[in-house]
């Protein structure tokens, strides 16, 4: 029989040899539409996906998140706020990957009336700062603004993501059996000091005579507006963020494109 002091020492050594458990984190998601605000928090552990599905102030919230470490925190997430399956009215969906600093709110999306703010490990002082910044210094976040206008409608969407990540945003309205709204799909990467942007913009407003669906790949300058126009529409694109430097090739990871159901 192993003496008790030796057994305790062996047990302590075995425990010390085990990898340290990842520290738990809290993710706060704030969604507002200009008239009402919605807030939900979930617990996260690095490398493990966390999910929340449930009612929230008369709406239904779906939030999936995966937190990755390694010098900075990268959050892959999917968020949807709606009235529930098949419900009438307006809803928002967003899927992307962003870099976060603990305690620093990030305005991840501004699309139509919707604003989505994400905060990792919020503190008591966090709410006062929420929504004031789409990026904080030193983080590799970029913001793409797509401003689509026509004779009878206009929609502006600002979506934040890291380079090399396919991101989607949807501002939709269900009326009867039809679903209208705005879709932005994007994927951009740095190459040779410039950015290649693949994008899809779709706008199908109830009041619009003709829906728009634009899809293209362009080389664009960082922090400088690029405009495109065609029969009955104008599209302004603006990609903001840090200079690419020695950027890694795009991994083209993401969640795929989304479509409005008719």
Tell me the per-residue pLDDT of 122-153, one tens digit each, with 9 for 90 and over: 986 655 444 457 876 778 999 999 999 887 78
Number of domains forming the structure of the chain: 1
Residue 233 domain-assigned (yes or no): yes
Phi, psi (deg, nearest 5) at residue 15 = -65, -40
Domain of residue 51, residue span: 23-242
Q: Which of the given ranges, 25-29, 55-59, 209-213, 221-225, has the highest pLDDT on average?
A: 25-29
β-pair type (141-150, 59-68): unpaired
Residue 1 domain-assigned (yes or no): no
Q: What pTM value is reported for the model?
A: 0.82
Residue 17 domain-assigned (yes or no): no
Residue 28 domain-assigned (yes or no): yes
Residue 211 domain-assigned (yes or no): yes
Residue 136 domain-assigned (yes or no): yes
**What dihedral angle (degrees, nearest 10) is formed by the CA atoms of 129, 119, 108, 182?**
-110
Lowest-pLDDT range of 61-70, 141-150, 168-177, 195-204: 168-177
Residue 262 domain-assigned (yes or no): no
Residue 195 domain-assigned (yes or no): yes
SS3 179: strand
């Amino acid at each position: 029989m192993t003496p008790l002091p030796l057994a305790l020492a062996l047990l302590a050594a075995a425990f010390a040899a085990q990898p340290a458990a990842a520290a738990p984190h809290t993710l706060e998601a704030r969604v507002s539409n200009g008239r009402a605000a919605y807030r939900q928090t979930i617990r996260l552990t690095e490398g493990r996906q966390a999910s929340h599905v449930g009612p929230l102030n008369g709406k239904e919230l779906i939030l999936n998140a995966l937190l990755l470490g390694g010098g900075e925190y990268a959050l892959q997430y999917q968020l949807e706020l709606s009235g529930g399956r098949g419900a009438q009215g307006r809803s928002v969906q967003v899927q992307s990957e962003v870099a976060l600093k603990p305690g620093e709110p990030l305005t991840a999306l501004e699309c139509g009336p919707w604003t989505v703010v994400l905060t990792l490990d919020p503190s008591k002082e966090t709410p006062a700062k929420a929504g004031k910044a789409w990026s904080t210094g030193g983080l590799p976040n970029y913001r793409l603004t797509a401003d689509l206008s026509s004779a009878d409608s206009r929609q502006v969407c600002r979506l934040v993501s890291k380079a090399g990540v396919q991101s989607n945003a949807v501002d939709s309205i269900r009326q009867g059996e039809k679903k209208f709204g705005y879709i932005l799909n994007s994927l951009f990467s740095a190459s040779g000091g410039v950015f290649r942007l693949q994008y899809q913009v779709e706008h199908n407003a109830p009041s619009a005579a003709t829906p728009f669906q634009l899809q293209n790949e362009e080389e664009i300058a960082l922090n400088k507006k690029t405009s495109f126009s065609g029969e009955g529409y104008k599209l302004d694109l603006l990609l903001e963020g840090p200079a690419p430097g020695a950027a890694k090739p795009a991994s083209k990871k993401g969640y795929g494109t989304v479509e409005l159901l008719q």
